[in-house]
Structure 1
Amino acid sequence: MTDFLKLSGRNILVMGVANKKSVAYHVAKTLEEVGANVIYSVRSEQRRESLAKLLPGREILICDVAQQVEIDALAAYISDNGWTIDGLLHSIAFADYSDGIKPFHETTRAQFLQAVDISCFSLVAICNALRGCFSDDASVVTIGISTTRMASESYGYMAPIKAALASSLAFLTKSFSKFSQVRFNSVAAGLLKTSASAGIPGYVDSYLFAESVIPRGKAVSTSEVADTAAFLLSPRSSGICAQQLIVDAGMEINYFDQDVVRRATDH
């Protein structure tokens, strides 16, 4: 069956591509393969220049989501060009780990609020600005994490922020339902090899442990997360709304695997 996902010709705004390892890059690649029109948005001119070399001929806009004026400018540009947005991928997160990972209670107000602003509130602000540009049945997908209840030191203070992001899906769905059928969902990804994650102190060790816990013995790939996001962005997922789809290859069911426990106790 051709165009099974029914994405051919649909306009999808992809926000958050940093490089070839980015989740957003893999999602955009999948979308282009099935015939979607991908509009890219990055945070800076420098990022646009680097992405233009990677993706020549694409429409690449600039929007620093920490600046409301830039979000408004992005929405105005899309509106002025008469584009209808059928889908939005929000793959944006930031946390300041410049001082290393500290105990959660030592998180500073500035660090926490900056991370909330960029990683969570940006989704609300972007969707509000674009509300007049979305098609009536548009799909909005953000990238979360597979669990926000696992108190992992290596993820610092981001899990509570990702929990807020997940909660916002229900509230965005409800408020948008007053005038549209726009859907909001999240791909809750297990540990991935990305440039962003590589910069988190202690992340590599956690990634290796996760891989040992996953029943198949192989970590989740970025392309697996991307394929799930593409499905959620498509009309084929029309019955899925205000949900998190966990993509962790079964990691959460296997923490007490005999071999894993034995290695830990022997150590």
Structure 2
Amino acid sequence: MLMKGKRGLVVGVANKWSIAWGISQRLMEEGAELAFTYQNERLGKNVRELTEGLENPILIPMDVTSDKQILMTFELLKRVWGHLDFLVHAVAYAPRAALEGSFVATTREDFRIAHDISAYSLAALCQSAQGLMGEGGSVVALSYLGSTRVVPNYNVMGVAKASLEASVRYLASDLGPQGIRVNAVSAGPIKTLASSGISGFGGMQRHHRNRAPLRRDTETAEVADATLFMLSPLSRGVTGQVLYVDGGFSIMGD
């Protein structure tokens, strides 16, 4: 029961295949009490169905591009809980047209959207979360190897993930004096609603499976365990880091 008595917000659950939902299940197994946000009513229906067996789940509509909605979310958590122990950031998006072809063709608007939702949202959430977190608070964001390597068709999302990882380091520096840690978990390719929008994703998975030292796909449960570690007191001396959970693929030359 590593997370017994801990309360946290999970941002990014879309459906039962979401990495964020796998993380949520693992956290609840370890005793955590969770609140969930959803972007719109369509996704809200999925989240309500996933959490209907929980006792008094906190479900909050929140679009990470809206400062007003972010502020309202944390005001609600302050009223209901009074404090927050951890935050899981599992949000990423780029228009489908930007996830095929060449990065050089990325439009200004697609670049802005990808960075606003996938990277700036972490800073925006931390701005509000820090007031509810004290010593021992922890934030984990989900990333991918495309932040440091060129992955075909990942394009602007890779650049946005690079921005996300840089944000993790700067936020770790800013929030460290308050005893709040900020880290990222970089997962291997896993089929989710978000990844289905990447052209040629199946080929990306096959290449990963054939080249990773462990010679298999990354499993959501593995990412969930790593995130649990990063959120729990077991990683209390770790901040500003990116933990790769990809079967070793990230150490290979190609």
Count of residue correspondences:
251
Change (3 A) 1:253 1:131: closer
Aligned equivalents of 1:100 and 1:72: distance in 2? 31
Aligned equivalents of 2:167 and 2:30: distance in 1? 29
The equivalent of 2:167 in structure 1 is 168
Matched, 1:199 2:197: yes
1:223-244: CA deviations, max 9, x gaps?
1111101110111110111000
Q: 1:154·1:206 contact (CA, 8 Å) conserved in 2?
A: no
The equivalent of 2:15 in structure 1 is 19
Aligned equivalents of 2:161 and 2:46: distance in 1? 28
Normalising by structure 1, what TM-score? Answer: 0.89
Matched, 1:66 2:62: no
Per-residue deviation at 1:152? 1.7
Q: 2:99·2:153 contact (CA, 8 Å) conserved in 1?
A: no
Q: 2:146·2:154 contact (CA, 8 Å) conserved in 1?
A: no
Deviation larger for 246-255 or 61-70 = 246-255
Q: How does 1:218-229 map to 2 (within 5 A)?
A: 218-229=216-227
1:74-132: CA deviations, max 9, x gaps?
11111222431101000000000147613111100100011100000001011101221
Aligned equivalents of 1:253 and 1:121: distance in 2? 28
The equivalent of 2:45 in structure 1 is 49
Q: 2:153·2:199 contact (CA, 8 Å) conserved in 1?
A: yes
Per-residue deviation at 1:139? 0.3
Instruction: Give the secondary-structure state (helix, strand or coil) at the position aligned to 2:182.
Output: strand
1:25-64: CA deviations, max 9, x gaps?
0000000111110111111232222211121042211110
Instruction: Give the secondary-structure state (helix, strand or coil) at the position aligned to 1:191.
Output: coil
Change (3 A) 1:102 1:244: same
Structure 1: 5+ residue stretches without partners? 257-267
Q: How does 1:1-267 map to 2 (within 5 A)?
A: 3=1, 5=2, 7-56=3-52, 57=54, 58-98=57-97, 101-178=100-177, 180-255=178-253
- Corresponding letter in the other structure for 2:105: E
Larger gyration radius, structure 1 or structure 2: 1
Instruction: Give the secondary-structure state (helix, strand or coil) at the position aligned to 1:154.
Output: coil
Q: 1:215·1:251 contact (CA, 8 Å) conserved in 2?
A: yes
Change (3 A) 1:123 1:99: closer
What's the Cα RMSD here?
A: 1.5
- Corresponding letter in the other structure for 1:66: T
1:139-190: CA deviations, max 9, x gaps?
0000011352321222121111101110111211222234x11000000111
- Corresponding letter in the other structure for 1:192: I
Aligned equivalents of 1:51 and 1:245: distance in 2? 27
Q: 1:97·1:200 contact (CA, 8 Å) conserved in 2?
A: yes
Aligned equivalents of 2:60 and 2:22: distance in 1? 18
- Corresponding letter in the other structure for 1:41: T
Q: 1:211·1:219 contact (CA, 8 Å) conserved in 2?
A: yes
Deviation larger for 130-139 or 96-105 = 96-105
Instruction: Give the secondary-structure state (helix, strand or coil) at the position aligned to 1:49.
Output: helix
Per-residue deviation at 1:255? 4.7
- Corresponding letter in the other structure for 1:169: V
Normalising by structure 2, what TM-score? Answer: 0.94
Q: 1:155·1:203 contact (CA, 8 Å) conserved in 2?
A: no
Identity score, percent: 31
Deviation larger for 131-140 or 105-114 = 131-140
Aligned equivalents of 2:80 and 2:225: distance in 1? 29
- Corresponding letter in the other structure for 2:134: S
